[in-house]
Amino acid sequence: MKKLLLVSLLFPTVIFAELLSVDLICRGAVVTYCEDLTTCGSEPAMEKIKIDGNTLVHKALGNHFLHVDSTTVSMQELDEDGSIGFSFNINRKTGTIEIIRGWGRPYHFTGQCELDRLDAFK
């Protein structure tokens, strides 16, 4: 019994760690921008997102390390002038998502996420 207690004290993260690994389908709207970078309108869009541990894995947006807590999954990178370069935020309770990319071609997606049921059975 003493050995088991000693081992559990030496390796607590192995025993009690909770890893987040999910595939999400997010439906919402993306803001479209005109040539002069003013807002032109919005259109329906869908995002497929994979979160593995504390990493966002996305084909177009790339891989980013995330801050994960009990209520949100988020990250934010600022541009040199202090404006948002890239921001990612999901509310773990409600499933609402917001993605903002300010670099290059601006991108702003807002929507609602749910688990990708097809990937859950792989």
Q: What is the pLDDT of residues 16-71, one digit of tens each?
A: 455 567 888 999 999 988 878 788 889 999 988 888 878 888 777 778 888 888 88
pLDDT digits (tens, 9 = 90+) for 85-96: 888 999 989 999
User: Average pLDDT over the chain, rounded to whole?
Assistant: 79
pTM: 0.73
For the four alpha carbons of 79, 84, 88 and 92, in that order, the dihedral sign comes to positive
With left for phi above 0 and alpha for psi between -120 and 50, is residue 9 left, alpha or beta?
Answer: alpha
| Domain limits, the chain | 19-120
pLDDT of residue 69: 85
